[in-house]
Amino acid sequence: MEDMDQARRRMVEDQLRGRDIDDERVLRAMGTVPREKFVPREYRGKAYSDSAMAIGQGQTISQPYMVALMTQELHLEPEDRVLEVGTGSGYQAAVLAELVSHVYTVEQIAELSDHARELLVDELGYTNISFRVGDGTLGWAEEAPFDKIIVTAGAPETPSSLLDQLGYDGEMVIPVGTRRSQMLTHYHRERTGNIKSTNLGSCVFVRLTGEEGW
């Protein structure tokens, strides 16, 4: 089995830098977080393959490239407060926590949230992540507004609650489309309050379920 540190470096150079990921802070974060800890034990030998993997409960951990792309498209700043919808394995939250002041992550499935908290806080020692079990389509109103929002599941349309919780000059990345395929969509709330959207390309995510999802 290839050494995990070596595999991680190769992932950064070949899968990320070798494509269109050029934000050095994002590349450093992806090269720091041990993805092998976030995948089921039986898949750890393939932790750095360029593919999504099942993590149980009908959920997946996204391919490294997609994690890096979504992170890069948020244009994160060190002082940012970020809302993540869909904690899942906790891998995306870890990458975000390497880059910003605080991450607020919401997950509907309590078992996944609890496991992610144990890994991120108890094992890896992150102190800038807050967890909530609940309907992520409704966001986390008590902590809004957020500088950035990332949604790691596909929605039939963009939840209005999330747009409402996006601060001025804030950015959000979310997959929007059908149950089988989505368009990765970037939103920017300008300082005037106007919201502009840009399509970043096609993608496939698990469904975003909830009051404003599927």
- pLDDT-above-70 percentage for the chain: 99
Statement: residue 194 has pLDDT above 70: yes
Amino acid at 157: E
Angle between helices 64-73 and 24-32 (to 10 degrees): 140
Q: Is 42 helix (H, G, I), strand (E, B) or coil?
A: helix
pLDDT at 44 exceeding the cut of 80:
yes
Any domain includes 47:
no
> Would the pLDDT of 1 be above 60?
no
182: CATH = 3.40.50.150
pTM for the model: 0.96
- The answer to whether residue 199 is domain-embedded is yes
User: Residue 184: inside a domain, yes or no?
Assistant: yes
In a domain, 164, yes or no: yes
Check: CB of residue 30 under 8 Å from CB of residue 12. yes
Q: Is residue 210 part of a domain?
A: no
Confirm whether 214 is domain-assigned.
no
Q: Distance between CA atoms of 143 and 165, rounded to whole angstroms?
A: 9
The residue range of the domain holding 149 is: 52-203
Q: Kindly state whether residue 208 falls inside one of the protein's structural domains.
A: no
**How many structural domains compose the chain?**
1
Catalytic residue among 49, 51, 62, 89: 62
Judge whether 180 lies within some domain.
Answer: yes
β-strands 182-189, 166-177 pairing = antiparallel
Predicted confidence at residue 2, as pLDDT, reads 62
160 is catalytic: no
